[in-house]
Each structure stands twice: as C-alpha cells, then as structure tokens.
Amino acid sequence: MKDRLILVAFYPPAQDDPWLNRLVASVDGPSCHVELAFPESLFAQSKDNKSMDAVFFHFGGNVEIVQKWYSKDTYKLFYVPVSSQQ
C-alpha cells in the first residue's frame, strides 16, 4: 500500500539565474539541480499547508534539511508514492 509521497523537484534555471546554474543546465540540462522533499513531514502541517521538509546541498557545501515550499511555475515536480516501510 502506498501511503506517503516523496517530491522530486527539478530546477531549470531562468535566464537571470547565476551563470553557474545556467552553465550546468546547458551542459547537462534542462535542470541544474534536483531536490527531494517530503510533503507529509512535520513541516507540512504548517498553516499554508505548502511547506515541507526539503533535502538539498549546494556545490561544495553540506547537505541540509530545511523548511521549503515549491511552485510548479519554478520547478518541474514529480511525486513518487511510497509505503511507510519503503
């Protein structure tokens, strides 16, 4: 039984994004990075019901878990259903 979702969010950079994002997308695009988010986590219970735990890292940086929300106007979003056991 699938009872949870994982959000996979691909970020295709806009024309005014930093040059490194645009370079990455031009070499291995159309996205320059991807993030994982967990809509059914603790943060998903916030008032706007859009916030969720997101896992990401910056080049040369640490992996972070932050509260974030995603817009389908900015990201290419894919929801992957998983079971609690998975």
pTM listed for this prediction: 0.75
Give the per-residue pLDDT at 47. Answer: 44
CA separation for the pair 75, 64 (Å, rounded): 19
Domain tally, the chain: 1
pLDDT in tens, 50-77: 678 888 877 777 888 888 888 888 899 9
Residue type, 27: V
30 upstream amide cis, omega within 30 of 0? yes
- Domain that residue 51 falls in: 4-82
User: Measured in Å, how far apart are the chain's first and last C-alpha atoms?
Assistant: 10
| Neighbouring residues of 8: CB distance < 8 A, sequence distance ≥ 6 | 34, 35, 36, 77, 78, 79, 80
User: Tokens 């969010």 — which residue?
Assistant: 9
